[in-house]
Structure 1
Amino acid sequence: MILLLAGTTEARRLAEGLAAAGVPVRASLAGATKGPRPLPVPIRVGGFGGAAGFCAFLRDAGIHAVLDATHPFATRIGPRSAALCAEAGLPYLRVLRPAWAPGPDDDWHEVAIPGDVARIIPAGATVFLATGRQGLADFAGLAGRRVIARVIDPPTGPPPIPGAELVVGMPGDVDAEEALLRRLRVDWIVTKNSGGPASGKLQAARRLRLPVAMLRRPPAPGNVATVPEALDWVAGL
């Protein structure tokens, strides 16, 4: 049985490939997004209950290998899973999409942590925060700017950033993103270097010549592979 730590497009492709190959697999979703799209394999939702719970699940479910296809910025589950698999002697593989790289017409300002963003964005600017619902409070230093945060699911309670406006919805293509940025009169975009296919918001930023504060992705634990490489890896176990 393969444990697939899911929640990304790559995880969906892995689930489809493993199901087509008849490989027993169990996908795990953190439950951070309401109403996730179904996968063609059995799914569990929610945390494991810490390191002990994760190890107990591996044992009780008969897991013999772990494919980690979580988000590039999932900074807790990846390192913990890699370490626990190493301790248990279980094969572990991290599936990670390539990072984005700026082109000659892009105006990117790479930052290491959310707290650095306020140092480069001037007071009074209109900031489009496209970093997701979780971790919005990390950008509280942007007080003094007009902050517009896009979220897929609205947070419960008051916005983590006082005075922030929320745009609820999924990212669109470049034309939709350009129209949204124009309508909101955005001066700066803040996003994470999630990587993967071309991003509509980044293409729109290029068209509009908007500066982008790009959060550098954290280092990934373990060996890193693409989806085809991961499917070959499973076939060779």
Structure 2
Amino acid sequence: MDMGNRDTIGRRILIVGGTTEARELAGLLVDAGYEVITSLAGRTDTPRFPAGIVRIGGFGGKEGLARYIRENCIDLLVDATHPFAAQISANCVAAAADADVPLIRLERPAWKKPEGATWIEVGTAQDAADALPRGARVLLTVGRQELGPFLAYTGCHYTARMIEVPAGLPDDWRVIAARGPFTLEDELHLMQERGITHLVTKNSGGTQVAGKLEAAVQLSIPIIVIKRPRLPKANAVDSVVWAHQSVTRIFRTG
């Protein structure tokens, strides 16, 4: 396809994503007649592809993203990245302003402290590792990029769950390669089987992985939660439905 020519059927939308919400939104927008390009970072070997056009790889920072928007006649940019992808979100804000296109940030709601939970909020993965007592049996669900502080703190027994497992993890770690969602029953079984005493997680939000929080509450397991990074201001919505409506409203009034 010649990406330099504007499709006369509808507007052209670039979604920077990789999340479940990004895939759902792409499907809705394609069905509505928009030309949708979804950009995936390419960090996983088995990504789930959305409807529409898919590109894989980075843009080269905010300048590269702004250049891509201009050269490919993008009418609207959607930041539907993970809540912890702070640099990419900042690049989206800067690039949209530079290229003079509207920006919508699709930001899933953060988790709140469940009733009855022992809820310990920390700022970084290092803070989470520092909060663990020696001898703790930890269910670690922070993703492979945040493993460093836990690898350095060898006083705990770790069960680490992630979509893709990096090479070189210690032999005494129990590593689970799995993609959610996980049911409450699954999480209860895992925590009981492994004798988990502490859950460490990012506040990724949404409903797909909330089963682990409920399981921890039921088993009286403390939850150490890494808070989300601060993001630059943007036109933000908290659901796929609201994002779809925002796209419609922007193009109706634009």
Q: Check conservation: 1:94, 1:220, Cα contact below 8 A.
A: no
State the SS of the aligned residue for 2:145.
Answer: coil
Equivalence map 1:35-184=2 (5 Å): 35-155=46-166, 157-159=167-169, 163-171=172-180, 172-184=182-194
- Aligned partner of 1:218 in structure 2 is 229
Specify the code of the residue in structure 2 equivalent to 1:233: S
Specify the code of the residue in structure 1 equivalent to 2:207: P
Specify the code of the residue in structure 2 equivalent to 1:167: I
State the SS of the aligned residue for 2:139.
Answer: strand
Specify the code of the residue in structure 2 equivalent to 1:16: G
Task: Give a deviation string over 1:156-180, Cα, whole Å, max 9, x none.
Answer: x312x78533111124211011111
Q: Check conservation: 1:126, 1:145, Cα contact below 8 A.
A: yes
Task: Give a deviation string over 1:143-192, Cα, whole Å, max 9, x none.
Answer: 2111221111111x312x78533111124211011111111111101001
Shift of 1:11: 0.7
For residues 89 and 166 of structure 1, the distance between their equivalents in structure 2, rounded to whole angstroms, comes to 45
Q: Check conservation: 1:143, 1:162, Cα contact below 8 A.
A: no
For residues 55 and 168 of structure 1, the distance between their equivalents in structure 2, rounded to whole angstroms, comes to 36
- Given candidates 10, 30, 34, the residue that maps to 1:23 is 34
Structure 2 gaps of 5+ residues are: 1-11
Q: Check conservation: 1:6, 1:70, Cα contact below 8 A.
A: yes
For residues 137 and 162 of structure 1, the distance between their equivalents in structure 2, rounded to whole angstroms, comes to 16
- Given candidates 209, 219, 229, the residue that maps to 2:242 is 229
Q: Check conservation: 1:27, 1:42, Cα contact below 8 A.
A: yes
Cα gap change, 1:235 to 1:105, in 2 (>3 Å): same
Structure 1 gaps of 5+ residues are: none
State the SS of the aligned residue for 1:214.
Answer: strand
For residues 79 and 67 of structure 1, the distance between their equivalents in structure 2, rounded to whole angstroms, comes to 13
Shift of 1:53: 2.3
For residues 201 and 214 of structure 1, the distance between their equivalents in structure 2, rounded to whole angstroms, comes to 12
Q: Among the aligned pairs, what percent are the same residue? A: 38
Shift of 1:122: 0.5
Cα gap change, 1:89 to 1:223, in 2 (>3 Å): same
The root-mean-square deviation of aligned C-alpha atoms, in Å, is: 1.7
For residues 14 and 168 of structure 2, the distance between their equivalents in structure 1, rounded to whole angstroms, comes to 36
Equivalences, count: 235
Task: Give a deviation string over 1:117-156, Cα, whole Å, max 9, x none.
Answer: 133211111111101122222434532111221111111x
Normalising by structure 1, we get a TM-score of 0.93
Normalising by structure 2, we get a TM-score of 0.87
Shift of 1:109: 0.4
Cα gap change, 1:223 to 1:88, in 2 (>3 Å): same
For residues 122 and 53 of structure 1, the distance between their equivalents in structure 2, rounded to whole angstroms, comes to 44
For residues 148 and 177 of structure 2, the distance between their equivalents in structure 1, rounded to whole angstroms, comes to 17
For residues 55 and 83 of structure 1, the distance between their equivalents in structure 2, rounded to whole angstroms, comes to 8
- Given candidates 187, 195, 210, the residue that maps to 1:185 is 195
1:207 matched to 2:233: no
For residues 206 and 74 of structure 1, the distance between their equivalents in structure 2, rounded to whole angstroms, comes to 28
For residues 49 and 205 of structure 2, the distance between their equivalents in structure 1, rounded to whole angstroms, comes to 23
- Aligned partner of 2:4 in structure 1 is none
